[in-house]
Structure 1
């Protein structure tokens, strides 16, 4: 019997909508899964003695004598990216952004809240050790970066010098100190309701580090030359003084920090947010007082925050942000996704503040609502998760098609379980230069990403595109928590 015409029409509509959904990639977005993986990634970056509940099981204990060169315990913390060095500056920024993700999106984190807190604590336990030498020393790094980058070794096999670096009153580092203060203060807020004693320790250390940053001013890369060209302080240190004071103000409500902020004259315009440049992040954080608390004292920061977003939005007359043909923000050629995740976090978070106060603003003749910012942030995250011209997820282990040859020593070398014997410094390069997929999946790692034309080569030697980093992942945790809370598993 022939089906009635209405059946054919309904079937056609269903089929057409299914094709459209699959084509757009929407059906493949499982934000809850991506959120869990984005946090799990941090286990793969752990340094030190690993706990019994370690889930990324191809990693083992490493760098158990860190700090001994300076007669101090500096074990623990995170390797910043695909290497085996512990750089305090990006590690502190990572910890700040993980904390901010929990502070703003804690209710949406759901079952991932404990894992997110654990990721923060792995960072702050180390930062407390790093600050333990104050007032004379703030430890800012472990491992000779040049020697490390001349080897391709598992962290478990490291035999390069674990040189200890620090800043001091005579060799200052206001930038790394200001960021460390921000990390400790933000984490103090995270732990306030669950571990009061730990929270108090964090806040006490944050105040000491901030005093050090304010008292002994200078760029840390002028004092510790070894951090260049890896993590030079290109934006100076005024942004970190603003950032650190802003977080201490948030954690304490002590008006002296606001007075200090107002005395800084930190009025530089910004169209970027990263481990190096904190102006935009500090202004969004401070603007919360103007929008959520309706405190006009903070209105100047709201204006500066909105000027930043006008430089980001693609249709804004004052936009200074390039976009790829596929719609991805494009700031710089090396690890561009670090800027995408950081800026997307600010978009999501400012949208939250705007929605709470029914606030809109204008970029010239463009009306900007909370949805304007949220939609742009969602588009960026969806692009990272696979909704892009290459149909590749830039998060390792998410969806079927993701980078298999990431620039990461531990992931690319055989694990200790499968290859117990030592793999030497030069011996490891055969794995770097191999065309084989990495034997160990660094689940949740977001890599540096595609070029300005949406092109991507899955090549270990393409470190600008294929290297993951803690400071790429930390901001996307908050974005994914928001999206998982709003859209769930798609």
Structure 2
């Protein structure tokens, strides 16, 4: 079980992974803690926090799904998940794998991108001094590019790609996946206000990050964030009631009001 403080004390349960005990969410919490102590004190000078920041961002490159870019630094990774969404007639290539498996869970991925964006908003200067700002922006954009793809129409958001049960029984490289790549969505008849709210928050926060350096992309993110929020607010319901396969991994324990409030705050900001 994973408990997260902050925005409404969101709580999520997850089945233990066969290949890793470290979840992406816990890693993001540690990443943000690292940023909070980055201004170097006399005691901190004995530690290389810039190196720790660099390695933490490198982790996200190792978690990438899809067609990898030419400047991919984790060279033992290659393209994977290139047919994600094909059976459903949509392009869901990209995004991040969850922890040690190859499922793309929308809720924790969105929370991860929100926290990465918040870190850059609050500590962008320190990250730049460490020489890692470009890598941080790339980590955020890798997630938001996927969210844009997953939001195929105003009231449709793809929630998950892959199946946790079959995935966790099979130990293999993402480049060699043979497990199910079934995709699941939320829509007007199958609501998921918590997922919609968290995804809207991620894109709204990222729109702030890119406002000066990439205004067109920032505007695109804000447009999607507003649509996803309105969808989640109008058609209310817990996403794990619509996508039941996620209940054993990232269940909607605390409901959806906290995510809707979280998204509204980022949109207002």
TM range (shorter): 0.7 to 0.9
Give, in whole Å, the separation in 1 of the partners of 2:122 and 2:85.
34
Match of 1:133 among 153, 159, 162: 153
Unpaired runs of 5+ in structure 1? 1-24, 251-490
1:31 pairs with 2:56: no
**Bigger-Rg structure (1/2):** 1
Q: TM-score, normalised by structure 1?
A: 0.45
1:69 pairs with 2:83: no
Q: Please report how far the alpha carbon of residue 149 of structure 1 lies from its aligned counterpart in structure 2 after TM superposition.
A: 1.1
Give, in whole Å, the separation in 1 of the partners of 2:186 and 2:168.
23
Cα–Cα, structure 1 residues 27 and 196, in superposed 2: closer, same or farther, change >3 Å?
Answer: closer
Question: Cα deviation per residue 1:274-301 (whole Å; 9 max; x = unaligned)?
Answer: xxxxxxxxxxxxxxxxxxxxxxxxxxxx
Give, in whole Å, the separation in 2 of the partners of 1:114 and 1:105.
13
Match of 1:116 among 126, 136, 142: 136
Q: How many residues align?
A: 225
Question: Cα deviation per residue 1:217-246 (whole Å; 9 max; x = unaligned)?
Answer: 010011110001111111110100110101
Q: Please report how far the alpha carbon of residue 207 of structure 1 lies from its aligned counterpart in structure 2 after TM superposition.
A: 0.3
Question: Cα deviation per residue 1:334-360 (whole Å; 9 max; x = unaligned)?
Answer: xxxxxxxxxxxxxxxxxxxxxxxxxxx
SS in 1 for 2:184: strand
Alignment of 1:247-326 (within 5 A): 247-250=266-269
Unpaired runs of 5+ in structure 2? 1-42
Q: Report if the CA contact (8 A) 1:96-1:182 is conserved.
A: yes
Q: Report if the CA contact (8 A) 1:103-1:189 is conserved.
A: yes
Quote the residue 2:8 is aligned against: none
Give, in whole Å, the separation in 1 of the partners of 2:174 and 2:91.
18
1:95 pairs with 2:85: no
Give, in whole Å, the separation in 2 of the partners of 1:28 and 1:234.
42
Alignment of 1:180-195 (within 5 A): 180-195=199-214
SS in 1 for 2:249: coil
Alignment of 1:411-422 (within 5 A): none
Q: Please report how far the alpha carbon of residue 150 of structure 1 lies from its aligned counterpart in structure 2 after TM superposition.
A: 1.3
Q: Report if the CA contact (8 A) 1:96-1:183 is conserved.
A: yes
SS in 2 for 1:133: coil
Quote the residue 1:83 is aligned against: 101
* 4+ long deviations beyond 3 Å: 25-28
Give, in whole Å, the separation in 1 of the partners of 2:47 and 2:252.
37
Give, in whole Å, the separation in 1 of the partners of 2:152 and 2:141.
16
1:235 pairs with 2:254: yes
Q: TM-score, normalised by structure 2?
A: 0.82
SS in 1 for 2:82: coil
Give, in whole Å, the separation in 2 of the partners of 1:27 and 1:249.
38
Q: Please report how far the alpha carbon of residue 215 of structure 1 lies from its aligned counterpart in structure 2 after TM superposition.
A: 0.2
SS in 1 for 2:265: helix
1:49 pairs with 2:76: no
Q: Please report how far the alpha carbon of residue 29 of structure 1 lies from its aligned counterpart in structure 2 after TM superposition.
A: 1.7
Quote the residue 2:37 is aligned against: none
Alignment of 1:434-453 (within 5 A): none
Cα–Cα, structure 1 residues 159 and 188, in superposed 2: closer, same or farther, change >3 Å?
Answer: same
